[in-house]
Amino acid sequence: TPRVFSGIQPSGNLHLGNYLGALKRFVDWQAKDMETIFCMVDLHAITVWQDPADLKKSTRELCAGFIASGINPEESILINQSQVPEHAQLAWVFNCVARMGWMQRMTQWKDKAGKNQQNASLGLLAYPALMAADILIYHATHVPVGEDQKQHLELTRDIAIKFNHDYGVNFFPETEPVIEGAATRVMSLRDGSKKMSKSDPSDASRINLTDDADAIAKKIRKAKTDPEALPSEADGLEDRSEARNLINIYAALNEQTVEQVLADVGGRQFSEFKPMLADLAVSKLAPISTEMARLMQHQDEIDKILARGAERARAITAPILRQTYDIIGMVPPP
């Protein structure tokens, strides 16, 4: 059966963008006749500084977020990256396949390293090789992600192609990015030109999955908008990034198309639309935050789920790593 893989960094502040761009869509994939593997990518998170106690908490909270969003750890394989060592082992091989120039071209590297590249971690530059390993250590073919990960997935393909070519094999598959739905790029509530992000210093810029009903409603009420009424057709949202963002969020939460939403709300003012959006968001998100808080009371359960996930994952990853080592000429243990 074809395999689906995706990951989320446990770097805190899990938000609505992660939910609509990733978690909610993972649940759709879980319902299909495919093997689904979802990962808390803690080794990716430490490419920028993480406080050790916060990282542990965020990892368990992310696991709770997966489950509260509808990922069933009996159906999907739910893992923490560092507990499945073959990810990091294959990443080393890919570090030797990928080229420096490929890494230096990545926009995420340029954005996150900023002007002072000399002072960024080597891991931040190598980030996409680890991501390629996460996917290819399962021979996964489908990778559901938000728009911001498209470039990294193209690089995953390049790494697979170069590995296969260099060693004269047809071993790693060419993966397909799956970027679909109305909310593949949820924007900041304070600035329609920036994506909603975990690391934005303004908490008002994002809806956290841990926010309660009051906080969710307040952030939507205060979201930046323009003074015009809403249009009735999608082309009326061009050049209105904040309006488009709120409509996209509404459509994704309500499982409608943008056209369907605008057919209902076109002509209304934001003063009318925002309370509708707040009600919808609270009804969809508050149960998730309640369930996350409940699960966080049972840390030992979470840790057991991750241990069980790692065991199931290693039944797939250990043989693939063994075959990779054989292809590249490593002498196997007797």
The residues binding ligand AQP (CB under 6 A) are 8-9, 11, 17-18, 21-22, 145-146, 148-149, 183-186, 195-199
Tell whether 186 is in a known binding site: yes
Q: Are 233 and 266 in contact (CB under 8 A)?
A: yes
| 195 catalytic per annotation | yes
**Closest CB 112 distance from ligand AQP, rounded Å:** 7
Q: How many CA atoms lie within 13 A of 136 on its CB side?
A: 33
Question: Is 9 marked as binding a ligand?
Answer: yes
One of 56, 57, 112, 224 is an active-site residue; which one? 112
Q: Is 12 left (phi over 0), alpha (psi -120 to 50) or beta?
A: left
118 is in an annotated binding site: no
Return the exposure string of 308-328: e unless at least 16 CB atoms fall within 10 Å of the residue's CB, then b.
Answer: ebbeebbebbeebbeebbebe
Which residue in 95, 105, 180, 190 sits closest to 142, CA to CA?
180
Catalytic residue among 195, 219, 274, 284: 195
Residue 32 appears among annotated catalytic residues: no
Of 71 and 186, nearer to ligand AQP (C-beta) is 186
What is the C-alpha separation between 282 and 195, in angstroms, rounded?
21
Question: Whose CA is closest to 132, among 110, 168, 103?
Answer: 103
Contact 160, 172 (CB under 8 A): yes
Active-site pick, 24, 198, 274, 284: 198
Respond yes or no: is residue 57 known to be catalytic.
no
In terms of CB distance, is 73 or 146 closer to ligand AQP?
Answer: 146
Closest chain position to ligand AQP (CB): 21
DSSP classification of residue 76? S
Nearer to ligand AQP, 18 or 317 (CB): 18
Catalytic residues: 112, 195, 198
Residue ranges for the known binding site for ATP are 9-11, 17-18, 146-148, 186, 195-199
Residue ranges for the known binding site are 9-11, 17-18, 134, 146-148, 186, 195-199
Residue ranges for the known binding site for L-tryptophan are 134
